[in-house]
Amino acid sequence: MSEYGTLQDRVRCTELMSKVMEPAQTIQFFKPGMNLGWSGFTPAGYPKVVPIALADHVEQNNLQGQMKFNLFIGASVGAETEDRWATLDMIDRRWPYQTGKNIAKGINEGRIRMGDKHLSLFAQDLGYGFYTENGRIDIAIIEVSGVTENGELIPTSSCGVIPELLQVADKIILEVNTGQPSFEGMHDLVTCLNPPNRQVLPITTAGERIGSTSIPCDMSRVIAVCESKLRDKGRAFTDMDATSEAIAGHIMDFFANEVKQGRLPENLLPLQSGVGSIANAVVGGLAKGPFKNLTVYTEVLQDTMLDLFDSGKLDAASSCSLSLSETPGFPRFFENWDKYADKITLRPLAISNAPEPIRRLGCIAMNTPVEFDMYAHANSTLVGGTRMINGLGGSGDFLRNGFLKIMHSPSARPTKTDPTGITCVVPKAPHIDHTEHDLDVLVTEQGLADLRGLAPKDRAQLIIDKCAHPEYKPILQDYFDMAKAQCLAKGVGHEPQLFDRCFKMQQNLAQNGTMKIKNWDIKVDLCED
């Protein structure tokens, strides 16, 4: 028995108790090549005991590469599940976002076929049946806190794509997690219908609820119920540093000026924040800043959101996931349940990231890219334009539809081969996830560039002036001046680029370990050390 009750306490639909089995007993249901859907989102609320049992089976029976599946999950899940599956060569296809050293290695080595997608579109398209030949998922494995008397599911720490999985899964396995408190009452669950009957999402405040706290499930499709006592591994907390705190300072000053100019109310507008040290610093800045009665409408809640609640300045938060750290985040949350739970609403991905409420609420979107170029195109996914990191995630959902669209990044990232690091401001991004049309503000520790209302060449100059690292600023300025002169002379100078040179900094990094080139001479292939 768990300190949080028994399986019998949680499964109030008594007919399901006849389907209770040990995780290893579910292996009989899985066949190579199956399409599988999991609950879970950035790693919270994902199934654990059944995926681990499958991995154990493959490892113990030397079935690596013989028992492979196609995985469809709302976002990343714990390394003890999918990253272990990657090491055992158990994944053929994976949509749409992942984290883990081994799964990324498998993707970049071509062993795992990954597809990337805006997360709101992934959820929607999964429900439309776009990802498999027959539009169906063979088995969905869903972690739940419990099952109501009438057979409705109560999710745990995330909602992910549970509604869509319940629409398209032929068979369902439930993992009932009794190793943590029940999350009953925290969710706002809606199953979006398919066009032409897709419904309005009338969310007018961040904390408003439009659905129910549990979701209907066809009990006849449930083939197994397994008890789990394993907690989410969670997202490791990323410490703030001087760079991230400087970026947060620029953003706080920008917010204050927007309030002064009358473009933002005194309590701002609902905030969306990505993950990482900069996001933590921004939320930390808000906890210490002058703004009160704040609200959050986002896809992940990190540890620093608890600090914002503790400051008394955050009234309500809506999210798809509690993306807390394994420690101290989740223990802190569970130990202070009464303090936080009634202020948090967990929604399915198709709602948390839907363009409609994001635009209606006027969300302030803040996310971190790999790099951005001088015209404000941003790369969030592919290092060097080819190496996948994690995936696009939900940043584009908010950056396309928000009231203010902000991207923040260090001006340079550390590297073993260059004391300054590599510049995050480049002439042209080698891969573009977010275009110039979607971004309003770019920020580094050097400064903030407000791009609203500026033509491309004006944007470029402001980005170089405000955002570039001092050691890279003259290199970027030389390129921009040269590109302007040559393109304008030919009458093609709206957004000047020289395609025979715009990637020369990246080429030099690949060959010589630094992005500091000596000149832009086309006759010099690369600049020697």
Kindly report, residue by residue over 123-164, the tens digit of the pLDDT. 999 999 999 999 999 999 999 999 999 999 999 999 999 999
pLDDT score, position 529: 46
**β-sheet bridge partners, residue 177:** 228
Average pLDDT over residues 257-262: 98
The Cα-based distances of 5 to 2, 10, 145 in angstroms read 5, 7, 11
For the segment 383-406, the average pLDDT, to the nearest whole number, is: 96
- Looking at the predicted structure, is the pLDDT value of residue 235 above 90? no
Amino acid identity of residue 499, one-letter, is F
Least Cα distance to 137 among 224, 37, 214, 1 occurs for 37
Closest CA to 352 of 160, 72, 78: 160
Chain position carrying tokens 């509690």: 322
Question: Above 60 in pLDDT, residue 526?
Answer: no
- Active site (annotated) includes residue 335: no
Read off the pLDDT of each residue in 331-352 and give the average, rounded to a whole number. 96
Residue 95 pLDDT more than 80?
yes
Per-residue pLDDT at 38 exceeds 90 = yes
What does the pLDDT read at residue 527?
55
Give the active site residue among 227, 299, 371, 445. Answer: 299
Half-sphere exposure in the Cβ direction for 132 (13 Å, CA): 24
Please name every residue paired with 444 in a beta bridge, in sequence order, or none if there are none: 447
**pLDDT-above-90 percentage for the chain:** 91
pLDDT at 194 over 50: yes
What 3-state DSSP class applies to 109? coil
* 279 has pLDDT over 60: yes
Task: For residue 448, give both structure tokens.
Answer: 């903030």
Residue 521's pLDDT is 87
Q: How confident is the model at residue 380 (pLDDT cuts 50, 70, 90)?
A: very high
Contact call for residues 280 and 237 (beta carbons, < 8 A): yes
209 near 188, Cβ under 8 Å?
A: yes
Which residues, 6+ apart, have CB-to-CB distance to 339 below 8 Å? 309
* Per-residue pLDDT tens digits for 408-465: 999 999 988 888 999 999 999 999 999 999 999 999 999 999 999 999 999 999 999 9
**Mean pLDDT, to the nearest integer, of 18-26?**
98
Q: With cut-offs at 50, 70 and 90, classify the pLDDT of residue 276.
A: confident
Q: Is it the case that residue 528 has pLDDT exceeding 60?
A: no
| Number of residues that this document lists for the chain | 529
pLDDT number for residue 237: 73
Q: Which domains does the chain have, with CATH numbers?
A: 7-228 (3.40.1080.10), 242-472 (3.40.1080.10)
Burial 13-44 (b: 16+ CB within 10 A, else e): beebeeebeebeebeeebeeebbbbbbbbbbb
405/399 Cα distance (integer angstroms): 5
What is the share, in percent, of the chain residues with pLDDT greater than 70?
Answer: 98
Q: Is the pLDDT of residue 3 over 60?
A: yes
Dihedral angle computed from the Cα positions of residues 24, 26, 32 and 36, in that order, rounded to the nearest 10 degrees: -120
pLDDT score, position 204: 98
CA atoms within 13 A on the CB side of 362: 8
Query: Which pLDDT score, from 0 to 100, does residue 391 have?
Result: 95
Q: Give the model's pLDDT for residue 463.
A: 98
Is the predicted pLDDT of residue 2 greater than 80, yes or no?
no
Predicted local confidence at residue 238, as pLDDT: 75
Report the chain's mean pLDDT, rounded to a whole number.
95
Beta bridge partners of 173: 141, 224
CA distance 147 to 25: 21
What is the band of 524 on the pLDDT scale with cuts at 50, 70, 90? Answer: low
Q: Region 240-252: what's the mean pLDDT?
A: 94
| Strands 69-73 vs 91-95: parallel, antiparallel or unpaired | parallel
Of the listed ranges 39-48, 277-286, 314-323, 472-481, the one predicted with least confidence: 277-286
Average of per-residue pLDDT across 212-217: 98
372 has which bridge partners?
378, 425
Rounded (10°) CA dihedral 381, 386, 388, 392? 30
